[in-house]
Each structure stands twice: as structure tokens, then as C-alpha cells.
Amino acid sequence: MSSTSRVRELNLYRRYFDLVAEGTKTIEVRVKYPHLADLTAGDVIRFRIKGTDETCEVEVKRVTQYADFQGLLDGEGPSTINPSATRDEQLASIRAIYPPEKEALGALAIEIQLLD
């Protein structure tokens, strides 16, 4: 991590946090909220399980924007997002977290690499 890296703190559900911490989840899915619009390769994300002190840090390798979650899953491949769930299960899970009006903002595929 270079001294110019920006560190973002983002909450993550336990099941996804564990996949990131294991290094098996290499794509994080987010809605393109204004506070994430300038996220770029080289930035660091500190994921936290909400309500706990548990964190893990990843480096952003790339950020790709998609019109919606279906396009993102097709473009990235479901195994990089959650190797333990099918594409349809993932789409349902993502849409349970983000309602249609949030999805309409656009979807971000954030390629991440676990930091030591």
C-alpha cells in the first residue's frame, strides 16, 4: 500500500466477509453510489463486519461499471463474486440487499486482492 492510497471503510455481511478474508471472493459488488464514484485501482478498502471490530483490508485492482446486476454477473462470472452460490442465487441475494431504485444507479464490480 503506497502512502497515496486512500482507505475506504465499507461494511460487509459475515458470509461475504469470510470469503474476502479467505481470498476466494475477488469481486465485490456495490451500487454506484456517489461516494464510490471515484473509487480507483490502488485504493484500499477496509471491510468491517457491522457492529464488530473485525476488519480485513484489500487493494482495489480494477473497477468496472455495469448497467445492472445481471450484466455484472454475466461479465465477471459468478464464481469470482461468491464461489459457494449459483448465479441465480447470487442475483437474488444482491437484489435482496439492493432494491430496484438502487440498482438503477448502476452496478460496480470491484476487483480486490487481499492485503497481508
- DSSP annotation of 110 reads E
CATH value at residue 105: 2.30.130.30
For the residues 26-30, what does the mean pLDDT come to? 97
Identify residue 81 by its one-letter amino acid code.
I
> Which runs of E-coded beta strand occur in the chain?
7-11, 27-31, 44-48, 55-66, 107-114
Instruction: Give the per-residue pLDDT at 5.
Output: 72
**Mean per-residue pLDDT over the chain, rounded:** 94
Percent of the chain having pLDDT more than 90?
91
pLDDT at 40 over 90: yes
Is residue 70 situated within a structural domain?
yes
Q: What is the C-alpha to C-alpha distance for residues 86 and 63, in angstroms, rounded to an integer?
A: 23
24 phi and psi, to 5 degrees? -90, -20
CB atoms within 10 A of CB 39: 18
Is residue 95 situated within a structural domain?
yes
**For the chain, what's the residue count?**
116
The 3-state DSSP class for residue 84 equals: coil
Percent of the chain having pLDDT more than 70?
97
Q: Are 76 and 109 in contact (CB under 8 A)?
A: yes
Is residue 12 situated within a structural domain?
yes
Q: Could you give the number of structural domains in the chain? A: 1
pLDDT at 1 over 80: no
Q: Are 25 and 14 in contact (CB under 8 A)?
A: no
Domain with 72 in it:
7-114
Is residue 2 situated within a structural domain?
no
Is residue 14 situated within a structural domain?
yes
Q: What is the C-alpha to C-alpha distance for residues 16 and 13, in angstroms, rounded to an integer?
A: 6
pLDDT 10s digits, 55-111: 999 999 999 999 999 999 999 999 999 999 999 999 999 999 999 999 999 999 999
Is residue 1 situated within a structural domain?
no
